[in-house]
A = this chain, B = another copy of it.
Amino acid sequence: MPRLDPDVSTLINRARAGDIRSRARLFSLVEDGGNPAATALATLAPWGGHARIIGITGPPGAGKSTLVGRLAREIRSRGQTVAILAVDPASPITGGAVLGDRIRMQDLHGDPGAYVRSISTRGALGGLARAVDGMVLVAEALGYDVVLVETVGAGQDEAAIIGVAPTVVVVEVPHLGDDVQSIKAGILEIADVFVVNKADHDGADQAAAMLRAMLSLAPPADGWRPPVLKTSALTGDGVPALLESIHQHQCFLEQSGRLAHWRNERAERQIFEAAQDNFLARLRSSVSAAQLQSLITDVASHRLSAEQAAEQLLDALDQQPMPRYNPTRQEDRFSGS
């Protein structure tokens, strides 16, 4: 059981009392990971589970951010509060944001019932889902009724959205480039609700028809057939209907027992991710720089496979007393051999 750091406790109290700067600091603390995040998450856990979590994904240029902004305003107009967590498909090196994206959300600025926060994808192994989960919990603990999670629709970031949100909206556009690959084969399994955005563009009806045709070929999973809607994020057309479809999917999840199933799957993933982080921190602190460099050299020069080097690292760890994860790096604890 992590001890409750008095600073973290104060931060949480201030953030929950509505202090904007404390809210931002609490999100950052959880995003940064490590012991302070673990302490905060243990404290926040009992406040989790009440918010509706909605994932929004789709290719770059589909107008996701504008649509998310529109959805947020629609949610606000119905009297609910909303947090937007925008996963940034930017370089893990600079952390630079997608140009223009953040700008469009600025008109939510100044509304105390809406909160917009970017999450950088960083390079961390499995770090994305873990960071998003933590920040969803922060949003829940801060009392937001709805959490919108936006990711770019490609590769592992797209896969991660299924784990972090029980309802996933996939946004497509009438024409993205001129390639058939703009609508991907695997997307049908990810989407609970399809949106063809930029409905005023040529080809919107064809894109919607094509999606419906693809969906009619696929067997309906778990008794839910994803609806295909058209929106215009610029004008707001179709946004109330989209929110209605999302709501219907969430009712379906609850009534069918799928929500409980999803919560269990999420919990299992979270437990193993946390165990893994703990283990890696232990491992880093139990090996000396010289020992590690020697193994790196062996692997880089193809004298050992990475698996063989890992076994040697684990042998070293096994011969140690097992310290609990301590973020203060303990140098040179490894005795050599």
Contacts and interface: CB of A to CB of B under 8 A. Distances in A.
A303 interface: yes
Interface stretch (A75-83, A107-115, A153-161, A245-253): A153-161
Interface stretch (A5-13, A15-23, A183-191): A183-191
Nearest to A45: B305
Interface string A178-201: 111111111111100000000000
A223 interface: no
Contacts of A264: 296-297, 300
A209 interface: no
Contacts of A180: 99-100
Nearest to A307: B38
Contact of A186 (B1, B91, B187, B297): B91
A188 B152 CA distance: 19
A120 B99 CA distance: 29
A309 B177 contact: no
A299 B322 contact: no
Report the interface size class on chain A. 35 or more
B182 A314 contact: no
B123 A125 contact: no
A89 interface: yes
Given A45-B302, A155-B158, 12 more contacts: A1-B311, A45-B305, A45-B308, A87-B155, A89-B184, A123-B163, A126-B126, A173-B177, A260-B300, A267-B306, A274-B305, A274-B309
Interface of A: 1-2, 38, 41-42, 44-49, 59-63, 87, 89-101, 121-123, 125-126, 128, 133, 151-160, 162-163, 173, 176-190, 260, 263-264, 266-268, 270-280, 283, 292, 295-297, 299-311, 313-314, 318, 322, 324
